[in-house]
Structure 1
Amino acid sequence: MPRNPNAEPKPFVLVEIPQEEPDRRPVATHEKFDGLTGRLELAFTVVSEYLFVGSGAYEFDPSHGNRRPDVWYTFYRRNGQLCVPGTSLKGAIRAIVEAISNSCVSQMRRPRERIASSAHQPCRWDPKKTAHENRLCPACRLFGTTSYRGRVHFTDFLPQGEIKPEVVKIGELWEPKRPDPSRRRFYERKSFQPLENPAPQQGFRFVEAVQRQAKFRGALLFENVSEAELGLLLHALGWQVENGRVIMAFAPKLGGAKPRCFGSVEFRPVRLRLWSQGVKGLLAPQEVQGKDMLPRLYQYLQGCRDSGLLHETSWNALKSGFQPKDEGCPREVY
C-alpha cells in the first residue's frame, strides 16, 4: 500500500535499461577532419507553461510584506541578458541520446545510486591506451568522457524578441527516495498547476521563469561525426522521419523544475553549414537552409535508423512518454 494514498500521480517517464550491452567502439580522433563537421543553427520555442534555467543566484525583496515573493531563484543571464547556456542543452540532450542509443548510464552522483545492469556502468577512458584501444558507448563517443573531448557542443541560446520573465511559486523539489535501478527517469509533459496563495510558505520556493511561446536561438556544433551519429542527435532533438517527411516526434525538456512540468521546448532547424575539403585540401563551407535542408536531415535521420544506432524499444518508450497529456502536474511533494 502506498505511504500516501492521496498523493498526486508522479509525472515520471520510465525507460527500461536494455538487457543487451552497449555497443562500445573505438572513438573518432581530432587531429584530422573525417566525416561530417559543421554547425546546425537551431531555434526553440517554449511549449510548456514555463521554462526555468537557474543561475545559482537569488534576488531578494525586503518589502514583500508577506504578500509576494521575498526571495527567488533567478534565471541565468549572460552580460545581463537572459540566456540558456550551451551546457544546459548539452546535458539534457545527452541524457536523451544515452537512453535512445543504449549507452552507459553516465550520471551516478551518489553512493546509493546503483543500476541493475553491470554492463551499463559509466564508460572509462584509459590514458595509457591508444585511442583505437579505448572503446566507448555511442553517447560517450559523441559527448566525451573524462580524458576524451567530445565531438558535439552547443552554443548559448539567446532570446528572440523581448521576453519578460515571471516569478512563479512552485512546490519544493526533492530527489526520489527510491531510485529505480533498472530504468532511466524522465518527466512527462503535463500542465503546470498554479498555486492560489502567492505568499512565502514553508515547502515552496519561487523561481524566475520565462513563459510559453518564448523563443531562443543558438547552434549545435559537431565534428567528425557520421551521418548516423548526426541522425541520432536529430532524434534527441525530438525529430523523426515518417511517410517520407521530417516531423516533430516530441518536445525535449530543458532546465530546472522538470518535476513541476517546466521545460518542454520544440526545436526548429534554421540553417545547416557543413565543412568539406575543397581545393588543395582547404576546408570549404557548404550552407543549406529552408526547404533545401530537409532532404539532408531526412537522410541523417533515416541513416541512424538503418545503422541500428537508434534503440527502437527505448525510442518508442521515450517518445510515447513525452507526448502531451491533459493532466495537471503535482503541486506538492511526491
Structure 2
Amino acid sequence: MSSSIIQRSRYTPRNAKGLEGIIELEMTVVSDYLFVGSGKYDYYLVKSLENIEDLVEKALKGVIPDLSNYFSPKVYLMNKYSDGKIVIPGSTIKGMVRSRLELSIPGSCYIVDRRSDSPPSQTYIRIFKPDRNRRSDEFDPREYPNICPVCNLLGNMGLGSRVSFSDFVMTSGKTTYVNVHGSEFEVVTRGSKFIGKVVYHSLTQEEIGMILYGFGFRKGTEGKVQLLGRFKFSDRRFGRVKFMLKDPSLLKYLEAFMNKNKGKLRDFNEEW
C-alpha cells in the first residue's frame, strides 16, 4: 500500500471542530413496486394443500411423480432481518445519495458510476447525461482542500467517511410477487414506508446541506422522486421513492449549500 493512501486522512478535517448530529428520514415507495434484492431466493405454494404430509408420502411412493406444479418458480427475495422485517441496506441508500452528488456537483469523482459491472442503460444516460470523460476516482490527498467534495464527505479508498447511513426498515406496507422477464420477485408495493437515519460528525453547514441535496430535497421537507433498486431504468413500474425530512430546521443547511453552489449544481427529473 502506498504511503499516500495511508496518509490521506491527515489532509482532511477529521479532527476539526464541526457539526454533529442525526438526520431522521422516512422513505415512501411511490411507484407500483420496489425491489432491492438480498441475493437469496425461495419458493411458495401455488396450490392449496389440505394435507401436506399425505402429499409428501404420495410423492415418495411415486404416486405423484412431480411436485413442481404445487410450487412457484424460484422467487428472488427482498432484504430482511432475522425477524422478518424488510430493510433497504444502508449501503444501498449511501450509493444512491453518492451517485446523485457525484453527478450534480462539478469537480466530483464518478465512484458509483465507475464501479458498475455493466454498461449504463440508455435510460440512465438520457436522465443524467453523465460526462463520460470524468470517470476517475483517483485523487492526491496532498491537494486538499481541492479533493473531490463528495469523497471528502463520504470517503474513498483510504479516506474515512464522516457520514454513516443506517438501514431503512419497513414500518408499513405490503409485499407481493411480480414476474419480470420470466422470473419471480418478492417486492414491496406502492405506499410502503421505511424509516432510517444518517449520523454525521465534523461537518460544515454546507456539507449537511449536501447530504440533503443527495436525498432529493430542494425546498421543503418532501424530496423529489429518486430512482432506487433493481429495474429502475428498465421497467416503469419499479424504483421510484421519495424521502421525507423529520426535522424541518435542517433545511437551513440545504439552503446554505444551494446558495454556496448557486448556478453550479445539476438537477435531474427522474420521472422518466
- Matches of 1:54 and 1:111 in 2, distance apart? 17
Instruction: Report deviation, 1:297.
Output: 2.5
Per-residue deviation, residues 234-258 of structure 1 (Å, max 9, x unmatched): 12212112xxxx2545111222221
- Matches of 1:254 and 1:76 in 2, distance apart? 14
2:69 match: secondary structure:
coil
- Matches of 2:195 and 2:218 in 1, distance apart? 21
Q: Which residue of 1 aligns with 2:12?
A: 28
- Matches of 1:222 and 1:41 in 2, distance apart? 11
Structure 2 length-normalised TM? 0.73
Q: Which residue of 2 aligns with 1:124?
A: 138
1:108 aligns with 2:107: no
- Matches of 2:95 and 2:200 in 1, distance apart? 15
Per-residue deviation, residues 264-303 of structure 1 (Å, max 9, x unmatched): 1111122xxxxxxxxxxxxxxxxxxxxxx42x33311211
- State the superposition RMSD in angstroms: 2.9
2:261 equivalent among 288, 308, 315: 308
Summarize the Cα distance change of 1:168–1:222 in structure 2 as closer, same or farther, 3 Å threshold.
Answer: same
2:218 match: secondary structure:
strand
Structure 1 length-normalised TM? 0.61
Instruction: Report deviation, 1:60.
Output: 3.0
Instruction: Report deviation, 1:112.
Output: 8.8
1:260 aligns with 2:238: no
Structure 2 stretches lacking a partner, 5+ long: 1-9, 46-66, 121-129
- Matches of 2:115 and 2:190 in 1, distance apart? 32
In the alignment, is the contact (CA less than 8 A) between 1:125 and 1:134 conserved in 2?
A: no
1:322 match: secondary structure:
coil
Count of matched residue positions in the alignment of Structure 1 and Structure 2: 228
Instruction: Report deviation, 1:306.
Output: 1.6
- Matches of 2:260 and 2:119 in 1, distance apart? 32
- Matches of 2:12 and 2:253 in 1, distance apart? 18
2:177 equivalent among 142, 167, 172: 167
In the alignment, is the contact (CA less than 8 A) between 1:40 and 1:219 conserved in 2?
A: yes
Summarize the Cα distance change of 1:249–1:134 in structure 2 as closer, same or farther, 3 Å threshold.
Answer: closer
In the alignment, is the contact (CA less than 8 A) between 1:159 and 1:217 conserved in 2?
A: yes
Summarize the Cα distance change of 1:260–1:307 in structure 2 as closer, same or farther, 3 Å threshold.
Answer: same
Q: Which residue of 2 aligns with 1:147?
A: 158
Point out the structure with max Rg over C-alpha: 2
2:209 match: secondary structure:
helix
Summarize the Cα distance change of 1:225–1:27 in structure 2 as closer, same or farther, 3 Å threshold.
Answer: farther
2:114 match: secondary structure:
coil
In the alignment, is the contact (CA less than 8 A) between 1:51 and 1:210 conserved in 2?
A: yes
In the alignment, is the contact (CA less than 8 A) between 1:28 and 1:224 conserved in 2?
A: no
Which of the pair is proportionally richer in helix? Answer: 2
- Matches of 1:57 and 1:135 in 2, distance apart? 42
In the alignment, is the contact (CA less than 8 A) between 1:53 and 1:75 conserved in 2?
A: yes
Moved over 4 A (4+): 61-64, 110-118, 132-135
Q: Which residue of 1 aligns with 2:98?
A: 94
In the alignment, is the contact (CA less than 8 A) between 2:109 and 2:136 conserved in 1?
A: yes
1:76 equivalent among 74, 79, 89: 79
- Matches of 1:206 and 1:88 in 2, distance apart? 22
Which of the pair is proportionally richer in strand? Answer: 1
Instruction: Report deviation, 1:208.
Output: 0.6
2:102 match: secondary structure:
helix
Summarize the Cα distance change of 1:117–1:208 in structure 2 as closer, same or farther, 3 Å threshold.
Answer: closer
Per-residue deviation, residues 150-198 of structure 1 (Å, max 9, x unmatched): 112210111214x442111113xxxxxxxxxxxxxxxxxxxxxxxxxxx
Bigger shift: residues 250-259 or 210-219: 250-259
Summarize the Cα distance change of 1:47–1:310 in structure 2 as closer, same or farther, 3 Å threshold.
Answer: farther
Percent identity between the aligned chains?
A: 27
